[in-house]
Structure 1
Amino acid sequence: MKAPFFVTTILLLTGYCASPFLMLALSGLVTSLVAVLLAVVLVPYFIELISCDHRPPVVGPISNQLIHFQTLYGYMTSLARKYPTFRFVTPSHSEVYTVDPMNVEYILKTNFANYTKGEYNIGIIKDLFGNGIFAVDGAKWRHQRKLASFEFSTKVLRDFNTVIFKSSTVKLVEKISLIAATEKAMNLQDLLMKSTLDSIFKVGFGFDLDTLSGSDEASNRFMKAFDDSNGLVYWRFVDLLWRVKRFLNIGSEAALKDNIRIIDNFVYELINNKRDQMKNKDLYRDKEDILSRFLMESEIDRENMSDEYLRDISLTFVIAGKDTSASTLAWFFYMLCKHPLIQEKIGQEVISVTEANKDTSIDDFALKLTESALQNMHYLHASLTETLRLYPAVPLDGKSAEKDDVLPDGFKIKKGDGVGYMAYPMGRMTYIWGQDAEVFRPERWLNNGVFQPESPFKFTAFQGGPRICLGKEFAYRQMKILAAFLVYFFKFKLVDESKQVRYRTMFNLHMDEGLHLYAFPRF
């Protein structure tokens, strides 16, 4: 990143024209600022370290997360093996994390009212998520929850999104077939992200983006800006100077501002186009998409359903419909490549349940993939769930304590503390899942071949309690349709079997650098 012109000028002047006295003064100023910053970070840490108030064990100042940011979830896992509940110290409060299922149930359900998003978390994420359901509490949360609950429970929408998921996946199969025919490698995560983005825009907004073809430059810019913003906002949780950088419009904050501008322009244009489309009743008769329903609601409640609010709600559906499903499917296919016998077992289940054969075309397979067939794919369902256990779409989720409290494990929580449960480390705890906790074993979810769910406070991929994910069945249907299609038509193999795939530290568990593999026709 190039330094701003005025910074470059100052450096040149101080380097070549300034007197030794001025250089010494500047050096002293920098040293003093560093000393103050260290004091701000370390003094609260040492004070809390010697506290005897039965608080969760202190594992370090919040700067430790900054040091381990690139491998944050692995670092948190190593700490959780030693301390099921622990905390980091910030200059203003403690950040408490837990993997104890009893604590998780208490936070998400038993004492739900005390553990909100909180001003601290909302202040960090608001620039991107606005007043979307992931970033609000109280009346706004209840309002969006009510609207979303109605949408996800509507049979018309459920049938509509199934049709869209199938048609988008047919395009993906055709795209992969072309690549497979050339025997070239592909980045499957990228293809999945584009396919799920196309699906959610059709289901959510009624528009065909066709991102998968790569022809729509605006949607490609939107997707990149959205993914980059996701990571940049998450960085704020460990960057004590992010507000200063935002004020000065430099570094990561300048990049975030540019990305949010791209996102806003894209979404507001989408809303305006949909509103114009709906005015022409002769041309527009299809109101199954979610945005149309929200726009109809906005005609009734103009004060609360502003365009800005519609923007925030729209982004919520993009996050829920693109990132979570696509990232989970990427890890799923990575696991299948690592476990070819499981890949084959899923393929045989899909063939058996759909009664498809080597002569079945893509369109015919879509017809055979009925709701009943999807429900009977227990091993596929178990494999996707096992993927979510080890690679949850949201690896860490944070709340904030409204009042002083005591967790079920006896540790005291102070008002203003951050309190988070850790889905990624939880999936790797032997005291929760047994000695084979880190082994990918779909059979752990089956009883006589039938899928058996676990407590949402042990398997936390979809949260639990009042904030449990409304789109859970929506997500499973989308993932099962995509997975069934791809496993039926192809076998997959990693380009480099020895390379360890790594995650990108952000709100969702994306693979860093993608998933590079070969696809081979199954028949």
Structure 2
Amino acid sequence: MAFEASNSIPSMATTTGFLFFSFTFIFSLFSLLIFISRMKPWCNCHTCRTFLTMSWTQRFTNLCDWYTHLLRNSPSGTIHLHVLQNTITSNPDNVEHIVKTRFDNYPKGKPFSTLLGDLLGQGIFNVDGDSWKFQRKMASLELGSVAIRSYALETVMDEIQTRLIPLMSLKARDQNETDKNTVLDLQDILRRFSFDIICKFSFGLDPGCLLPSLPVSNLADAFDLTSKLSAERAMNASPMIWKIKRFLNIGSEKKLREAISVVSDSANEIIKQRREMGFATRKDLLSRFMGSVNNDDIYLRDIVVSFLLAGRDTIASGLTGFFSLLSKNPRVEEIIREELNRVLGPVQESPTFEQIRQMHYLNAAIHESLRLFPPVQFDSKHAEEDDVLPDGTIVKKGNRVTYHPYAMGRMEKIWGPDCLEFKPERWLKDGLFVQEDPFKYPVFQAGPRICLGKDLALMNMKSVVAALVPRFDIRVVGPNHEPRFAPGLTATFRGGLPVKVIEKRC
């Protein structure tokens, strides 16, 4: 009897495992069918049919350009993608309604937090309610302080003077003396620069990505992959597709899990090192946050990842778009050089905060480039309750609502008939920079969630331009066409930005 009982245990375990797997599979299939029934895949409107068949690729290189085309031809500046239950708008009145007037009704929402939850956890970009308020309050206090702004400028200038300028000079000489046919991927250089900066500024650690050897960073590579694969989740026709793949740990979800593991391990190591070194007197952001949430390593991990997302990809993306446009507009480049020479003098030393504030044309040029190439091309919310947007669009509870800064920057209704031109003068009045309505220009978001790091990001970008433009001619090489964007949480040029660098004689 004892022998029979012991034999029955593996059999029972096998049966239980089979039943569990069968139940899970049937439940997943049932959930998928329910979702499909709610999604109404039988919608045969032209927009949904074009999206599902991807026939938009016959005319447009990027999905964002197809959306821009649809929004431009919509009388209200709003379109509906029924199969995704998504309302997409480029109407500034709608944007103000979503991000300010009815802010309470349009949180990030559970669908969004689930999509990015494995990567961002409970970080500020992935939460609503009290958790968001707490993190935003802490971030606002820190980022608004004179001490942290001075530390940020000091960090940026050190990286520019000791690494970025010497590296660009080295590459310029290599191109001139060794092989005139070689090109430099400026996007890669800017991403390395931004990664060094955000790690120094946020964690007090130097990854050395911009050293002359251009070393590989496992953390940077893993973070790039998590960003790409997380964004691809949103491109699936149904979230059940990636959820089933995640449950079975196969395909892209297996790669995502492995990459997130590398990011998490690195973040935890950063926290451990900071704790061992002591954080009470340190200047970096993580040390300041640790004073408030010292014993919650999971929470600190999420903060670390959020810092990486905010400071690395967005600044590199913005600068890549800027130099892409500047290469095609030598007139703008020359005016920037004249302003820099006037403000900084012929010696071209590192600018102070006061000197940066005097660079009105450079400020206008950067805002103009961000209008055409915003680092975050669209932002989505989910309706808590039924609502009606100012243009009369009906929004049902639970539906997704998306405003599209990339498309808005290309709308003649908003920016006039010259909307596709790179024209910094549109931001100037009597030679002075004038800020536009944030709901017309939601590049840094608007309302209660407006970007807290906006001023630091602009300072970073201006400092790089002020250092490179007087010293180098940077020219994009290859066909003169609009860039192709790679999947990601921020806009990244597929294939990088190949340039020739010519060092100017002093």
- After TM superposition, the score normalised by the length of structure 1 is 0.84
Q: Percent identity?
A: 37
Q: One-letter code of the match for 2:93?
A: M
Q: Does 1:100 align with 2:91?
A: yes
SS in structure 1 of the partner of residue 137 of structure 2: helix
Q: Does 1:473 align with 2:455?
A: yes
Residue of structure 2 equivalent to 1:326: 316
Residue of structure 2 equivalent to 1:126: 117
Deviations 1:49-93 (A, max 9, x none): 6xxxxxxxx831695396658721111111111221111123xx6
Residue of structure 1 equivalent to 2:211: 213
CA gap of 1:61–1:293, structure 2 versus 1, over 3 A, is: farther
- Name the CA distance, whole Å, in 1 between partners of 2:173 and 2:37: 56
Residues 188 and 516 in structure 1, CA contact (< 8 A), matched pair in contact too:
yes
- Name the CA distance, whole Å, in 2 between partners of 1:464 and 1:39: 32
Residue of structure 1 equivalent to 2:126: 135
SS in structure 2 of the partner of residue 520 of structure 1: strand
1:40 pairs with 18, 36, 39, which one? 36
Q: CA deviation at 1:185?
A: 2.0
SS in structure 2 of the partner of residue 507 of structure 1: coil
Residue of structure 2 equivalent to 1:440: 422
- Name the CA distance, whole Å, in 1 between partners of 2:189 and 2:80: 38
Q: CA deviation at 1:489?
A: 1.2
Equivalences for residues 343-362 of structure 1 within 5 A: 343-356=333-346, 360=347
Equivalences for residues 4-403 of structure 1 within 5 A: 40=36, 44-46=40-42, 59-60=47-48, 64=52, 71-83=62-74, 84-90=77-83, 94-170=85-161, 171-183=163-175, 184-213=182-211, 220-239=217-236, 240=238, 241-278=241-278, 286-299=281-294, 302=295, 306-356=296-346, 360=347, 365-366=349-350, 369-403=351-385
Q: One-letter code of the match for 1:197?
A: F
CA gap of 1:107–1:39, structure 2 versus 1, over 3 A, is: closer
- Name the CA distance, whole Å, in 2 between partners of 1:167 and 1:79: 45
- Name the CA distance, whole Å, in 1 between partners of 2:62 and 2:69: 11
CA gap of 1:181–1:41, structure 2 versus 1, over 3 A, is: farther
Higher mean Cα deviation, 64-73 or 404-413? 64-73
Deviations 1:460-512 (A, max 9, x none): 10010000001110111011001110112111112225354322132201111
CA gap of 1:447–1:268, structure 2 versus 1, over 3 A, is: same
SS in structure 2 of the partner of residue 457 of structure 1: coil
SS in structure 2 of the partner of residue 87 of structure 1: strand
Residues 50 and 56 in structure 2, CA contact (< 8 A), matched pair in contact too:
no
- Name the CA distance, whole Å, in 2 between partners of 1:129 and 1:62: 32
- Name the CA distance, whole Å, in 2 between partners of 1:485 and 1:42: 54
Q: One-letter code of the match for 1:209?
A: P
Residues 39 and 85 in structure 2, CA contact (< 8 A), matched pair in contact too:
no
Q: CA deviation at 1:46?
A: 4.2
Residues 43 and 82 in structure 2, CA contact (< 8 A), matched pair in contact too:
no
CA gap of 1:424–1:500, structure 2 versus 1, over 3 A, is: closer
Residues 62 and 238 in structure 1, CA contact (< 8 A), matched pair in contact too:
no
For structure 2, the residue ranges without an aligned partner over 5 or more in a row are: 1-28, 176-181
Deviations 1:264-323 (A, max 9, x none): 1111101101000007xxxxx741111111111124xx4xxx111111111111111111
Q: CA deviation at 1:373?
A: 1.3
CA gap of 1:62–1:471, structure 2 versus 1, over 3 A, is: farther
Residues 65 and 238 in structure 1, CA contact (< 8 A), matched pair in contact too:
no
Residue of structure 2 equivalent to 1:19: none
Q: CA deviation at 1:256?
A: 0.8
Higher mean Cα deviation, 501-510 or 103-112? 501-510
CA gap of 1:48–1:140, structure 2 versus 1, over 3 A, is: farther
CA gap of 1:293–1:216, structure 2 versus 1, over 3 A, is: farther
Residues 48 and 89 in structure 1, CA contact (< 8 A), matched pair in contact too:
no
Deviations 1:429-458 (A, max 9, x none): 111111111111111111111111101100
Q: Does 1:422 align with 2:410?
A: no
- Name the CA distance, whole Å, in 2 between partners of 1:107 and 1:42: 24
Residue of structure 2 equivalent to 1:29: none
CA gap of 1:413–1:78, structure 2 versus 1, over 3 A, is: same
- Name the CA distance, whole Å, in 1 between partners of 2:479 and 2:143: 40
SS in structure 1 of the partner of residue 499 of structure 2: strand
- Name the CA distance, whole Å, in 2 between partners of 1:518 and 1:445: 30
Residues 385 and 398 in structure 2, CA contact (< 8 A), matched pair in contact too:
yes
CA gap of 1:38–1:271, structure 2 versus 1, over 3 A, is: closer
Q: One-letter code of the match for 1:288?
A: K
Q: One-letter code of the match for 2:103?
A: F
- Name the CA distance, whole Å, in 2 between partners of 1:398 and 1:463: 11
Q: CA deviation at 1:142?
A: 0.3
- Name the CA distance, whole Å, in 2 between partners of 1:446 and 1:196: 28
Higher mean Cα deviation, 140-149 or 371-380? 371-380
Residue of structure 2 equivalent to 1:11: none
- Name the CA distance, whole Å, in 1 between partners of 2:39 and 2:379: 27
- Name the CA distance, whole Å, in 2 between partners of 1:499 and 1:85: 27
Residue of structure 2 equivalent to 1:27: none
Higher mean Cα deviation, 340-349 or 415-424? 340-349
CA gap of 1:167–1:296, structure 2 versus 1, over 3 A, is: same
Residues 132 and 309 in structure 1, CA contact (< 8 A), matched pair in contact too:
yes
Deviations 1:311-338 (A, max 9, x none): 1111111111111111100110010111
- Name the CA distance, whole Å, in 1 between partners of 2:268 and 2:274: 10
- Name the CA distance, whole Å, in 1 between partners of 2:213 and 2:268: 21
Residues 41 and 61 in structure 1, CA contact (< 8 A), matched pair in contact too:
no
Residue of structure 2 equivalent to 1:5: none
Residues 198 and 308 in structure 2, CA contact (< 8 A), matched pair in contact too:
yes
CA gap of 1:270–1:214, structure 2 versus 1, over 3 A, is: farther
Query: Size of the alignment, in residue pairs?
Result: 460
Residues 76 and 425 in structure 1, CA contact (< 8 A), matched pair in contact too:
yes
Q: CA deviation at 1:522?
A: 2.2
Residue of structure 2 equivalent to 1:513: 495
